Amino acid sequence: MSQHAITRWLIAVSIGCGGADHPPAPTSSSASERVVERAPTAVGDAASSPSAAPSSAAAVEPPAHRALFQDEPRIRQLALQGFEPAHIVLPRGEGRQKARLALIAHGAGERPEPHCAHYEALLPDDYLLVCTRGYPSNKHLPEAQRGYFYDGHPKLGQELQAIFTVLATEEPYASSVELERALYVGFSQGASMGILALHERPELAAHFNGVLLVDGGAGEWTVSLAKRMAQRDMRVGIVCGQPSCREKAERSRPWLAQAGLAAELRLRTASHSLEGPLGEDVKELLPWLLREPGPATAQ
């Protein structure tokens, strides 16, 4: 083929392929890059964006105690080494990252369940309630008919420590319950035995920053014991309806003041029961003990 013919053939091929006026179609890789770089304009786009995923997950992450407790029965038994099982009520609300803790001790011959039910209605939704059982007064009765008592404050102290051991080492409690700044509530024998246990076991008392003693525990105080509690930033509420409790509370009042302990006393003549006037005093004191709005006024 002559040089002239070759030149004409090359021109024809160039025109047939589109020449320089028709750039090649984009490759699949370049198209993919444009899709990734496109700014999201809808909710669906944000959900598929890698950078949006972490913040979206964090926004809906539930507090730890709800994530762990939501599938559990709220009322159950807590098995303890060496003691009868405690009665517990799991938290209802989602207000905190960890559930707060209240330990509740009943009077001699009583059962833990009514006391848990009483304080469940009074305490905030994010509280885990643990009600101690003690020892049965009559093992020959069916369990549902038995009353329970505490065989001295050393035993009650050991029972409280057994509760903290379980909560600190077993799931779902270990990762979802705040074991410090707890509330201790005692009624009658649970009050007198409980405060003695806290006095004798500083490592146990260190878990609490609020103590409520109802018709008991009013006379188990000295200036030095009150000072020890004051150093832990403890708040103590004492509620009395019985004459003996009122007399002991009046004797303890100057010692509590001398020690600088934050203490509130509610002293009246009332029946030995959480129903009625004593229950109203308890309800009034709880916000102050929990360091929530509604401070109590000294009486």
Residue 224, domain member (yes or no): yes
Q: Are residues 102 and 199 in the same domain?
A: yes
Query: What is the rounded distance in angstroms from the CA atom of residue 229 to the CA atom of residue 111?
Result: 29
Q: Are 135 and 282 contained in the same domain?
A: yes
Residues 77 and 54 in one domain: no
Its domain, for residue 38, covers 28-61
Strand partners, 213: 186, 238
Q: Between β-strands 182-187 and 100-105, what pairing exists: parallel, antiparallel or unpaired?
A: parallel
How much is the pLDDT for 73? 82
Nearby residues of 162 by Cβ (< 8 Å), 6 or more positions away: 80, 81, 82, 83
- Given 15, 40, 61, the domain boundary residue is 61
40 shares a domain with 183: no
Q: Which of 180, 186, 182, 110 has its CA nearest to residue 153?
A: 186
Q: Encode pLDDT of 188-200 as tens digits.
A: 999 999 999 999 9
Q: How far is CA 155 from the centre of its chain?
A: 25
How far is 130 from 165, CA to CA, in rounded Å?
13
Owner of token pair 């700044």:
181
Q: Under DSSP, is residue 8 helix (H, G, I), strand (E, B) or coil?
A: helix
Question: Are 45 and 117 members of one domain?
Answer: no
Q: Are 53 and 146 within one domain?
A: no
In a domain? residue 15:
no
136 and 34 both lie in a single domain: no
Domain identity same for 41 and 90: no
**In-domain check, residue 13:** no
Structural domain ending residue among the three candidates 17, 37, 61: 61
- 56 and 78 inside one domain: no
Asked whether residue 18 is assigned to any structural domain, the reply reads no
Same domain, 209 and 83: yes
How many domains does the chain fold into? 2
Length of the chain: 299
Residues in CB range of 59: below 8 A, 6 or more apart:
none
14 belongs to a structural domain: no
Q: Is residue 43 part of a domain?
A: yes
Give the domain CATH number at 83: 3.40.50.1820
Query: Where is 41: in which H helix or E strand?
Result: none
42/71 same-domain check: no
CA separation for the pair 18, 21 (Å, rounded):
7
Dihedral of the CA atoms 258, 261, 264, 267 (nearest 10)?
Answer: -50
Q: Which of 198, 282, 203 is nearest to 240 (CA)?
A: 282
Picking from 7, 41, 61, the residue at the C-terminal end of a domain is 61
Residue 299: inside a domain: no
* 95 and 54 within one domain: no
**Domain contains 3:** no
Q: Output the tens digit of pLDDT for each of the chain's 299 residues.
A: 444 444 444 444 343 444 443 333 333 333 333 322 333 333 233 333 334 344 444 444 555 555 556 656 889 999 999 999 999 999 987 656 789 999 999 999 999 999 999 999 999 999 999 999 999 998 889 988 999 999 999 999 999 999 999 999 998 899 899 999 999 999 999 999 999 999 999 999 999 999 999 999 999 999 999 999 999 999 999 999 999 999 999 999 999 999 999 999 999 999 999 999 999 999 999 999 998 865 454 44
